Amino acid sequence: MNWFRFLVVVSLSALAGAQAPASKEVEAAYPDAHALYLDLHENPELSGHETQTAAKLASRLRTLGYEVTEHVGGTGIVAILKNGAGPTVMLRTELDALPVEEKTSLSYASKVRAKDDSGRDVPVMHACGHDLHMASIVGTAAIMARSKNTWHGTLMLVGQPAEETISGAKAMLDDGFLKRLPKPDVAVALHVGNILPAGTVGIVPGVYNTNADSLRITIYGKGGHGAAPQTTVDPIVIAARTILTLQTIVSREVKPGELAIVTVGYIHAGTKNNIIPDQAELGLTVRTNKPEVRKQVLAAIARITKQEAEVAGARPQPLIDHYESTDLVYNDPALAERMKGALEAALGEDNVVIEEPITASEDFSYFVEQGIPGFYFSLGGADPEKLSQAKAAGTTLPSNHSPLFAPDADLALRTGITAEVAVLRGLLK
Ligand SMILES: [Zn+2]
Ligand SMILES: [Zn+2]
């Protein structure tokens, strides 16, 4: 998850310091879950390549008595535990890691390198905490399997590949997820981050995050000698003007107060200082939280891109490739309210925080779009002491995707398991 927090409101009482939720059943499941966490952290795999990761999860869940289906949408897995009549509740974890070189100096830091989809050799790190989500789900799975008297219905644990490329949920659905397997009545997921202290969880009723659209724009010019610009149409100059005009969409076209972000994350053009290249490529991410604003922003990008090329006499027209998109995650407000109660009972009222929406995105929304009500919540990951020091110094701890991202695993993993079990028991009644 692209985890830039937006207007997070945290109650001071929650930051005052949370204790590990100590319960016998969590302590019994913890050593295995923690061992899996260390193993997964040391052996991360890139999006769509999570073969060993999926196999480790599948084998553990089978041992716990779950019926496991592998290779759903690539490396995805679904583990089912039936326990009489009742609802079907899905709990999702992601499987993938990121092309990031770990710099945490932890004893279990990743030293893994792998080939990415374009064949480049890249470092790999669980820099988004998906290893913690997997360890948590396995701990939760053990507790639920050992306490069938506390719930009834069907528990469906989903290991989803390729969340970081916003493609894994769709791949699972395209592979017959809803046809081959029981359709969930509710879908649950959590995400760890460094904004909240470990020991706490955060809930956002309603709109949780943003729509995300990824665009690749190719501007075509006419190449030539850098000393003879009159013989060329310079795509770098057009790209530069386009980038600046794109900035006026949010500042001049979108109604003040509406959420919209247009970021040009890269510009690729040229090879040498005295050559004018024949094309330039821009990579954009667009975030919004209303369908009409999304439509407006995407239309404005297309209009501006075409017109800036037109002004320069560039031919052919620029190509706009809308290569990735996902809708926002919506938390059913009534469901969020019910789950708030379940989480407060398990973690203590002070350790459940109401948050504002964030401008990250997530393909969990693909499951919610299928008409499955969703509950997606935050898991505090920050070492409480380091977090208070950072706050006092006016700084922040390394965020998700940072080479230094290192959640307080002991506390966050225990809290993750406790929270998931509480939510599942709350739903499987
Ligand atoms: Zn991420
Ligand atoms: Zn993530």
- Which ligand number lies closest to the CA of residue 100? 1
| CA–centroid distance, residue 401 to ligand 1 (Å) | 6
| Regions in the chain scoring below 50 on pLDDT | 2-18
- Which ligand number lies closest to the CA of residue 131? 2
DSSP output for 295-349: HHHHHHHHHHHHHHHHHTT-SSPPEEEEEEEEPPPEE-HHHHHHHHHHHHHHH-G
| CA–centroid distance, residue 277 to ligand 1 (Å) | 34
| CA–centroid distance, residue 128 to ligand 2 (Å) | 5
| CA–centroid distance, residue 194 to ligand 2 (Å) | 12
Report helix angle 409-427 to 333-347, nearest 10.
Answer: 120
- Which ligand number lies closest to the CA of residue 399? 1
Predicted confidence at residue 335, as pLDDT, reads: 94
Predicted confidence at residue 22, as pLDDT, reads: 66
Predicted confidence at residue 9, as pLDDT, reads: 37
Going by DSSP bridges, is the β-strand pair 224-225/330-331 parallel, antiparallel, or unpaired?
A: unpaired
Going by DSSP bridges, is the β-strand pair 224-225/275-276 parallel, antiparallel, or unpaired?
A: antiparallel
DSSP output for 179-194: HHSPPPSEEEEEEEEE
Take residue 223 and report the two structure tokens written for it: 């190449």
> Which tens digit of pLDDT belongs to each residue from 3-56?
433 333 333 334 444 455 569 999 999 999 999 999 999 999 999 999 999 999
| CA–centroid distance, residue 322 to ligand 1 (Å) | 20
Predicted confidence at residue 323, as pLDDT, reads: 92
